[in-house]
A and B are shown apart, each in its own frame.
Chain A
């Protein structure tokens, strides 16, 4: 077994992680150096190919088994996309090609992600089926969805003729390859054609490094710091514990924070890395726990997935255009499949169903309130808004209990314990200390500006606004350009950034690199 710090030096698990010393002090500087060296001699195509090769190395690091699948998927989708684009230009129908491409993508995804789950369920019904025991290729959900979105745009005739290396890099681009954000070709590939990304600009690299540092800190200090509390609760329940109310709330809140800091930390690192390379990735999180409703939550949480589901599932199903009942049904279908996308398990399906219900209820309330101006005015009052935020947060926490639990029964045990109906087993010692740890993090969730608000003076990252998420247009919070906590390229901020980086590096050294939670999805 690898010693803890050596695990960090070699990437912890076999996979190369952003939060490993090998990545930060080896892979990343090497990629940047090669990229800017090629950019300096104006070899842009070579620079893109270099990034593509680096991305393949990143994906295949320590485990080459799934590399052929990734390459085959890229090749197949590119060829089909080309065919469709050509036929679309000639005004020829290409629906069958789209069905073939999407069908193949989904079939591959279904085989690798859901075959075991389906077989286990069939076996539990008494059928003579044995789970095939397939290992899930990392990032398959992300690169499959990215390419499905591309095929749909080819079918719509909204793509341009991209060169193979451009498409290859768009899919494999290492900052987003294994845990998103889910990219659209039109927001990434045109950036490859600009001259500026290839120029070495120290200021840009430092801004990207700062965003990366914030993400790293969120992951290794904040998320990994509370992970033991969540593990203690959910693993304990899986082992037969019946927790008391305090333990249930500590574990549930810890997981709520862990998931956010982990995934948004990863997204920040991806954006920061990309910023260093001169490319902009879409924002994936915008202070989601500050949402005043579930609709707003889905404008702020995993925005690129919400956008994908809205564009490619919810709206094709009819969205809100076919009456209230159909609207709610569409939301339910979308969220059920969204839940299933996260993982092959009944807990994920139940989580999707719960959010489908939440969204339907929220939309029903809005319909009702829409015809009552007094209610609308009341909702704008700060105390009511505060209450709405709290209720939304509690609803989301309940959802995460389902999401994290090993089984529906375990989720039920935790939920019961949260309302005081648990078995009363104390799982934590030093509860006061744990709350002292959790409360500042809760304060960060609700009151601190997010990474992009902190960086607003130098770079304008905004949530996706030209499309729609499941909650409508993505969040564009008022006041994102004001406030005192705005990073500047000055000495004091350099010291602050350095301290944050040092603490993050120290935390990496002192703990085994833990994979990002969203790798498993």
Chain B
């Protein structure tokens, strides 16, 4: 018969063993069993992102430099027609836009990996990405865990905790629940979503967002997609990621330009806070010594030019914002030529 003290000591031993044991078991469950991985973060976009980067990296490698890389989230991917820009300006242009949910830390790291000295990177970042409160949301963490482990090792040490903090057991539980309720379509992360890689051309531009495909439901979702606009917070993880990226590119002789994300012209952009945010952005770029190309309103389009979200252009919108970018780049290059010594 154990004494109370021994009983308590034994309990404490098992308790202290159980805490790391549970964490280890979860880790093994999440990342040790490859077959389980697709079940863990069941958003249909994850397979699209994987294939998108594979496609774009391969296509970009074939393009000789110096190049103009258009970088940002899906606003860039759906927005700009790199082929047309190449033809119009005679500069090798590539659309390296991906998925805004990946957050700036990840998106910019991918851009940094492919940009070469002598290239020019044009950043056209969706406004909400500047105010993301964390450097990583779950999507880049899960995506890189499955498909891009290189990102782990490239990450600055001070971000490791943030990165680890996104391994949320609730997400795993949610994923389990998802798979339970949709078991016939599992694994969900391999389920084809609305986007396809087959419609991406050799310069990374989207060719599959036709106006004819826009459904009333898409229109409804776009109408509901209210934008929450806040003044720019320069200490936010997004802003800091941009500043760090610009500094590093300037050091390695990659020129950086700032553009504006293609977007639906929403009433929210007429509010005073939006004017302030846009002015803040201009001054932010100015302080980073990054030239700003064009004006934001030139990249805002009417309802009929968007696809399925406020930031996704259909073919009409793509033509509009591409023309605006060509015009802005021409103005910038002629200005730069005039200012040259």
Contact = CB atoms under 8 A, between A and B. Distances in A.
A30 interface: no
B14 A489 contact: no
Interface string B261-280: 00000000000000000000
B15 to A, nearest CB: 4
Given A202-B8, A494-B15, A432 B181 contact: yes
Interface string A232-273: 000000010000000000000000000000000000000000
B28 interface: no
Interface stretch (B61-69, B85-93, B159-167, B205-213): B159-167
A225 B170 contact: yes
Contact of B11 (A4, A490, A506): A490
A206 B23 CA distance: 21
Nearest to B168: A510
A202 B170 contact: no
Contacts of B22: 498-499, 502-503
A434 to B, nearest CB: 9
Nearest to B21: A498
Size category, A interface: 35 or more
B157 interface: no
Interface string B247-291: 000000000000000000000000000000000000000000000
B155 to A, nearest CB: 13
Interface in A425-441: 425, 430, 432-433, 436-437
Interface string B228-239: 000001011100
B149 interface: no
Interface stretch (B72-80, B113-121, B172-180): B172-180
Contacts of A49: none
Interface in A382-416: none
A203 B4 contact: yes
Nearest to A203: B8
A3 B11 contact: no
A494 to B, nearest CB: 3
Interface string B1-33: 000110111111111111111110010000000
B134 interface: yes
B100 interface: no
A495 B170 contact: no
A497 B18 contact: yes
A115 B17 CA distance: 53
A361 interface: no
B14 to A, nearest CB: 3
A166 B208 CA distance: 74
A5 B164 contact: yes
Contacts of B236: 1
A196 to B, nearest CB: 14
Interface residues of B, number: 45
A497 B15 contact: yes
Contacts, number: 120
A221 interface: yes
Nearest to B14: A494
B169 interface: yes
The secondary-structure label for the interface of chain B is: helix
Interface in A466-521: 489-491, 493-499, 501-503, 505-507, 509-512
Contacts of A498: 14-19, 21-22
A506 B233 contact: no
Contacts of B23: 502, 506
Contacts of A5: 161-162, 164-165
B290 to A, nearest CB: 22
A506 B181 contact: no
Nearest to B160: A5
A436 B233 CA distance: 38
Given A6-B161, A489-B11, A498-B16, A506 B4 contact: no
Contacts of A495: 14-15, 17-18, 21
A509 B165 contact: yes
B135 interface: yes
Interface string A1-38: 10111101100000000000000000000000000000
A507 B18 contact: no
Contacts of B12: 202, 206, 494
A496 B17 CA distance: 11
A505 B15 CA distance: 14
B26 A506 contact: yes
Nearest to A506: B169
Given A203-B5, A433-B177, 16 more contacts: A4-B133, A4-B166, A8-B165, A225-B170, A436-B180, A489-B11, A491-B10, A494-B11, A494-B14, A498-B15, A498-B16, A498-B17, A501-B15, A506-B26, A507-B170, A511-B168
19 contacts: A1-B233, A3-B159, A3-B161, A4-B134, A4-B166, A5-B165, A202-B8, A202-B12, A203-B7, A209-B15, A436-B177, A491-B10, A497-B18, A499-B18, A503-B22, A506-B23, A506-B167, A506-B169, A507-B170
Interface of B: 4-5, 7-23, 26, 133-135, 159, 161-162, 164-170, 173-174, 177-178, 180-181, 224, 226, 233, 235-237
Interface of A: 1, 3-6, 8-9, 202-203, 206, 209, 221, 225, 239, 425, 430, 432-433, 436-437, 489-491, 493-499, 501-503, 505-507, 509-512
